[in-house]
Amino acid sequence: MYISIKKTSIEGQASVEYLVVCSALIAALLTPIENDNNVMELCLDSLSDWYTAFAYSKSLPTLPN
């Protein structure tokens, strides 16, 4: 038994799957988890703290030999 499937319906299926997965990831990243912060805010705060420490360490003078 052979089932005929149009190529455009297969390509459309991939677009729908991509949209569903991306929507789920965005929802997961923006869902509040602690103290009304979401994962994106926690990651941005962590990155900001890291960059502040990195910039401070780069501003220190080099040690003499």
- Rg (Cα) of the chain, in Å, rounded? 24
Q: Would you list the DSSP string of the chain? A: ------HHHHHHHHHHHHHHHHHHHHHHHHS--BTTB-HHHHHHHHHHHHHHHHHHHHHSPPPP-
Confidence of residue 62 (pLDDT cuts 50, 70, 90): confident
27-40 confidence digits (pLDDT tens): 998 888 878 888 88
pLDDT score, position 8: 57
Predicted structure pTM score: 0.57
User: 11: which residues sit within 8 A by CB, 6+ positions away?
Assistant: none
Cβ-based neighbour number of residue 53 at 10 Å: 10
The encoded tokens of residue 38 equal: 């979401």
